[in-house]
Every structure is written in structure tokens, then in C-alpha cells.
Amino acid sequence: MSIARRRLLQLGTMGLGTFFTGRALGKINRPNTEGSGRKPIVISTWEAGINANKGAWKVLRDGGRALDAVEQGVMVTESEQSCCVGLGAWPDRDGFVTLDASIMDENGNCGSVAFLERIKHPISVARRVMEKTPHVMLAGVGAQQFAIEQGFPLENGQLSGDAKKAYEEWLKKSEYKPIVNVENKGSSAFAPLRLPNGDFNHDTIGMVALDAHGNLSGSCTTSGMAFKVRGRVGDSPIIGAGLFVDNEIGAATATGVGEEVIKTCGTHLVVQLMAQGLHPEEACRKAVEKIIKNFKGREAKLKDTQVGFIAINKQGEHGAYCIQKGFNYAVCYADEYNTLIDGKHIM
């Protein structure tokens, strides 16, 4: 019996099951075997994944469909206040929150929205695109118009208190200038790779799940990089970049600097590596290595760039890898098991 398993049973007998979260356990740094091979199982990016997993688990534990689980799960994060997901998140450099999301089911169906404004649950709009239209992706005002037609309320567009504060702070430090001047400022004209507090910019929520029937699905939702150029779209709504599911093989999702993920078709690469027989962790590591290779000629930028992948395979094995220390993911496979695992890192 593993040490963690023994600890779980000890806590269970002490009646501390409800405290058995990543916080209660501390972040685990060991091979990601805990829960491997289980069904159902859900994993998601970052600490926000703990709450998101709880939403997904309610669906999975009752034998529900992975697709419903990954939608319900990330809706939790879209409703929370965070820097990087949902309408409470940090805006673009013009002061508007714009949202990207994608979803993919066990039959290879997928839907996504990009540059969507004033709609609280972009993930659900992405699902409607998948289920109600012959298309995969809707963007901008058209996506918003579709959402309204589908009955989603149009929110007021005001920044949350936290977002307003962060934006005002960023305006000071970035010495924001009109576009004509910004062009001369090099990369600082674009979204910063780190936020003013030093954290990496950005913490997307991505989730992949395997249900009791053995079916895989995934979701990914974000406000994109904080203070991005207006109109910038990242990897999250792009199938094969921020999210990919192949029900015969596995599912993967990504977080971090979306441009780097897009350049490598990151999650499609992870799934293809799993198809070659690699464990999800090994597949994620190889995809991260590929991203790092792409920094040839611009090595100095690498230290400020974070990308992380998480993946599960058809057997319920899971894993993650990232460029830099600091990324973690949440794994849930039982009422009493929902914990954070540190992503292994290359640098």
C-alpha cells in the first residue's frame, strides 16, 4: 500500500475526510501514480481545479457523462473571482474582459468560442456551438449574438473590483500609451509574460475526465492573458492546441502562454504521444520539451515563460509536465480524494 493511500485511510478513520484536499495534504511531489488506473477520474489545472473537480465529481460519481462533468466543473471556476477565468478576470489592455473556451466529447465533437464578451459561462456557449450548430468555433460579436439567441444573459460588462484594481496598477507600470507609441516599445507592448506580482501570466482552467462508462471528454476556459492586445486569442479555444480528446487514446489540456501551445499543436501532440504508448506524464514531458526547442534564438524569454500540460489516458492514468516550477494540477477520483499534485518541470 502506498504511503499516501495509508494516510488517506488513517484520515478516513479519524473522520477528517472532508478536510482531505490538497491544502490538508500539502502538495505532493512524487510520481503521479495516485489514482492511476481509476474510473471515473477527473483532473484539472491549478489550485482552482480543486473546486472545479468538486463540480465535476458530482456528475461522475453518479455515473454521469464525462462531457457533463467537464462542463459543470469549469463552470465553478467561471463563477469564482480569479485573475484568469470568467468575467471577474483581468481585462485586455483596453479594459475589456474577453473570454475563450472549448469543449470536446467522446465522439470527436467539439465546440469553441473566442473573444466572447459579457457572457458568464463561455464553456456552455462552446457546448451549444458543438451541439446546436454545424460549426466548431464562433468568435466575437457573432459568438455573443449566438449566446444571446440561446438564452444566455448579457452581463453588464463592468470590471470586478479586483480586476479594476489590477488594471489600474498595470496602467501605471506599463506606461500605457496609444497604439502609435506602443509599437516602439518592443515586447512590452504585448501581454506581459509575468503579472506585476511576479506570477506567470496565465492560469487557464483546463479539465479532462474519464467517466464510469470509459468515455473521455475535456474542457478549457480562460480570459486569456491579462492586459493582452485587444483581439488576441490564445490556445484555449483552439482544438488541438488548448484541448484535445481522442476517446480511443486519451485527453489533454494546456495552460500557460497560449502562443507557444498553438505553435506546437500542444495537446494534439500530447495525445499522439500517448497513442504511441507513452504514459500521460511522459507524453506531457515530450510536448514541453518540443516547446522549449522552439525557443532557439530567443532563449532569454524562456525563463519568463510557463506552459503546462495535463493528460489522462483511456486507462485512467494521469500525468502533467511544465516548463517552470510552480504549476500544479488537481486530481479527483473519490468523494474523499481531491488533491493537488505538483507538475514536474524541466527548468
Residues carrying an active site annotation: 204
Stretch that binds ligand GLY, among 35-43, 72-80, 243-251, 252-260 (CB under 6 A): 252-260
**8 A C-beta contact, residue 122 and residue 234:** no
CB of 331 to ligand GLY, least distance (A): 20
222 contributes a contact to ligand GLY by CB under 6 A:
yes
114 contributes a contact to ligand GLY by CB under 6 A:
no
74 contributes a contact to ligand GLY by CB under 6 A:
no
CB of 20 to ligand GLY, least distance (A): 30
- Of the residues 22, 122, 258, 266, which one makes contact with ligand GLY according to CB under 6 A: 258
What would the grid cell of residue 65 be? Answer: 457523462
**Of 232, 231, 209, which is closest to residue 220 (Cα–Cα)?**
209
- Of the residues 202, 268, 285, 318, which one makes contact with ligand GLY according to CB under 6 A: 202
CB of 255 to ligand GLY, least distance (A): 5
- Of the residues 102, 217, 236, 306, which one makes contact with ligand GLY according to CB under 6 A: 236
204 contributes a contact to ligand GLY by CB under 6 A:
yes
CB of 130 to ligand GLY, least distance (A): 20
234 contributes a contact to ligand GLY by CB under 6 A:
yes
CB of 315 to ligand GLY, least distance (A): 27
For ligand GLY, how many residues bind (rule: CB under 6 A)? 12
235 contributes a contact to ligand GLY by CB under 6 A:
yes
- Of the residues 52, 70, 87, 225, which one makes contact with ligand GLY according to CB under 6 A: 225
CB of 181 to ligand GLY, least distance (A): 25
- Of the residues 53, 215, 255, 264, which one makes contact with ligand GLY according to CB under 6 A: 255
**8 A C-beta contact, residue 207 and residue 44:** yes
218 contributes a contact to ligand GLY by CB under 6 A:
no
Stretch that binds ligand GLY, among 13-21, 140-148, 171-179, 230-238 (CB under 6 A): 230-238
Stretch that binds ligand GLY, among 111-119, 137-145, 253-261, 322-330 (CB under 6 A): 253-261
The 3 state secondary structure assigned to the chain is CCHHHHHHHHHHHCCCHHHCEHHHHCCECCCCCCCCCCCCEEEEECCHHHHHHHHHHHHHCCCCCHHHHHHHHHHHHHHCCCCCCCCCCCCCCCCCCCEEEEEECCCCCEEEEEEECCCCCHHHHHHHHHHHCCCCEEEHHHHHHHHHHCCCCCCCCCCCHHHHHHHHHHHHHHCCCCHHHHHHHHHHHCCCCECCCCCECCCCEEEEEECCCCCEEEEEEECCCCCCCCCCCCCCCCECCCEEEECCCEEEEEEECHHHHHHCCHHHHHHHHHHCCCCHHHHHHHHHHHHHHCCCCCHHHHHHCCEEEEEEECCCCEEEEECCCCCEEEEEEECCEEEEEECEECC
Residues forming contacts to ligand GLY in the complex (CB under 6 A) are 202, 204, 222, 224-225, 234-236, 255-258
